[in-house]
């Protein structure tokens, strides 16, 4: 592990793992509705790609479907897409959004995206 001087977040490097696309991941924020994490992916010998990932649970009030929550989720998804996040859907009714960032930007991106999500979820429509 290496501590980046500009971050309070530890970055785990996976370069010692001899697998293609080796990845390390750590959850920074976890709630029933969403989680935010960061990680690294090995892209070559001593080369790493850093990312921030947001995962939204679309139906966290199962079996009830809450239309207002889904509308807020759509707003979050649109904002993440606008910020350059790559979107993926999963079988467990989750959508993940991933953004490649420099290691120096992980903390600020986490703070920005957490504020964005919390602001949208707090709004009453």
User: What DSSP line would sit under the chain, residue for residue?
Assistant: -EE-TT-SSEEPP-TTS-STT-EEEEEEEE-SSEEEEEEEEEEETTEEEEEEEEEEETTTTTTS--HHHHHHHHHHHHHHHHTTPEEEE-TTSEEEEEEEE-GGGHHHHHHHHHHHHHHHHH---
Res. 45 pLDDT band, cuts 50 70 90: confident
The pLDDT value given to residue 11: 47
The percentage of residues in the chain with a pLDDT greater than 70, rounded to a whole number, is 82
Mean pLDDT score of the chain: 83
Judge whether residue 17 has pLDDT over 50: no
Per-residue pLDDT tens digits for 82-124: 999 999 998 888 999 999 999 899 999 999 999 999 999 998 7
pTM over 0.85: no
Residue 1: helix, strand or coil by DSSP?
coil
Q: Domains (ranges, CATH) in the chain?
A: 2-122 (3.30.1460)
Query: Residues 7, 104: contact at Cβ < 8 Å?
Result: yes
Are the beta carbons of 14 and 46 closer than 8 angstroms?
A: no
């Amino acid at each position: 592990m290496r501590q980046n001087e500009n971050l309070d977040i530890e970055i785990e490097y996976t370069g010692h793992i001899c697998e293609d696309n080796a990845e390390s991941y750590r959850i920074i924020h976890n709630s029933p509705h969403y989680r935010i994490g960061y990680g690294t992916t090995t892209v070559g010998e001593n080369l790493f790609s850093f990312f921030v990932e947001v995962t939204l649970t679309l139906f966290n009030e199962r079996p009830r479907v809450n239309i207002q929550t889904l509308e807020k989720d759509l707003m979050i998804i649109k904002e993440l897409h606008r910020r350059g996040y790559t979107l993926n859907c999963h079988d467990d009714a989750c959508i993940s959004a991933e953004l490649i960032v420099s290691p120096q930007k992980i903390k600020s991106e986490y703070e920005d995206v957490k504020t964005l999500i919390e602001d949208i979820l707090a709004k009453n429509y």
